[in-house]
Structure 1
């Protein structure tokens, strides 16, 4: 099995190193990750300049681009042998609920899925203990399963792991994405040249965070495993939307 590892925290991230070490011996591992932190980059591609690839003494490769760039180049140009799957992480903080919209970790996984590869995004719900080895072991357990998992097209697994030793995990739970409350306000500051600047405010707490959600699972000490479908179409409102559009003046005939 050939596995591509990537992340959004950068090629020197301790979470990425822990993931590599935790999966050693499972197959042929290749690491292609951003040369610096790209948290919050989402699915952005670099299209306005060429990208530079650097190989490091430990064999890892870095790219001066986004997580999506890294997976795209790795699968579509850097290696002759194809990959069997993509694993992105271990992210230094949680990717719960609405976080996945912004997450570069999840974006690296979805790029792998777009290119036809099964993919997992894994994050540590960090509370300051940094038990990356627990998250790495979770991924290994998922990959070593003798029963193949079939999610269907345009789907990935989003995995969030409590920041505890392995033997303190409560277990595994299959969850849905919760939702956060509104983010905190932007934080103004003054730069040394006297100009006003702003920091983006912190993400809101879990608003929809009850039983069944990823928020609730990790709060109870469980590994949260959420199947994420990249099709953002709101299928349940298509019929009513067609009716509404058809009622508009000058909507024309033959509304599909």
Structure 2
């Protein structure tokens, strides 16, 4: 199996190197990751300047761009043939609920999905890499099982793994995205010149962690597997919107 591995924490992140070691027994793994931490980059592509690709001493290739840039450049220029799977992670912190809209980790996987490659994003729920070895072992278990029993449909999977010992982690739970409160306000400070600068506030508190959500699963010590889709159409609103706009045209 050929795997393309990326992330959003940068090519030097412990989550990337540890996950690489866990996946190499399963196939040929090519790494193309961002040069710097790109948390919150979402699905952005760098269009206002060219991007460059470099090779690190360990053989990892890195791009001075976003996670989506990395996968886009890898699939369209760097790799010799299409990979069987795109893997993104291991992320330093959870990607659940509305986090997935902003996540560079999920975005790297989503870029693979857009190119027709099954893709999985892996995140460690709490920051600071506690029990990272257990998390990457679980990630390898999931990839190996997918290799042995592949899904019959095209897949974009978001996986969140609790920071626990391998022996203490529960079952795989298929979940839906939970919900958060709106994010906290931006924090205004001043630079050395006395000019105002603004830091984006922390994510909002959890609003919906009911049974069946990703928040519920990881709180119970289980692994959350959430299938994602990229069709943003609000199907429920179509008929109401048709009625609302019926007969309207530009008044020229």
Give me the TM-score of the superposition, normalised by structure 2.
Answer: 0.95
2:149 partner SS? coil
The 8 Å contact of residues 131 and 163 in structure 1, kept in 2 or not, is answered as yes
Hey, what does 2:248 align to over in structure 1? 251
1:204 partner SS? coil
Matches within 5 A, 1:80-119: 80-119=80-119
Matches within 5 A, 1:161-176: 161-176=161-176
Hey, what does 2:70 align to over in structure 1? 70
The one-character-per-residue Cα deviations of 1:110-146 (angstroms, maximum 9, x if unpaired) are 0000111000001000154522222212221112122
Aligned length: 247
Matches within 5 A, 1:51-200: 51-126=51-126, 128=128, 130-145=130-145, 146-152=148-154, 155-200=155-200
Give me the TM-score of the superposition, normalised by structure 1.
Answer: 0.93
| Larger displacement relative to structure 2 (94-103 or 73-82) | 73-82
Q: CA deviation at 1:234?
A: 1.2
Hey, what does 2:6 align to over in structure 1? 6
Unaligned runs of 5+ in 1: none
The 8 Å contact of residues 7 and 33 in structure 1, kept in 2 or not, is answered as yes
Instruction: Give, in whole Å, the separation in 2 of the partners of 1:143 and 1:198.
Output: 40
Instruction: Give, in whole Å, the separation in 1 of the partners of 2:168 and 2:93.
Output: 19
Change over 3 Å in CA distance of 1:80–1:128 after alignment to 2: closer
Q: CA deviation at 1:150?
A: 2.9
Change over 3 Å in CA distance of 1:209–1:151 after alignment to 2: farther
Q: CA deviation at 1:233?
A: 0.8
The 8 Å contact of residues 100 and 106 in structure 1, kept in 2 or not, is answered as yes
The yes-or-no answer on 1:45 pairing with 2:45 is yes
- Flag as ranges the 4+ runs of structure 1 deviating above 4 A: none
Instruction: Give, in whole Å, the separation in 2 of the partners of 1:51 and 1:127.
Output: 29
The one-character-per-residue Cα deviations of 1:169-213 (angstroms, maximum 9, x if unpaired) are 021100000111111111111111111111111001110111110
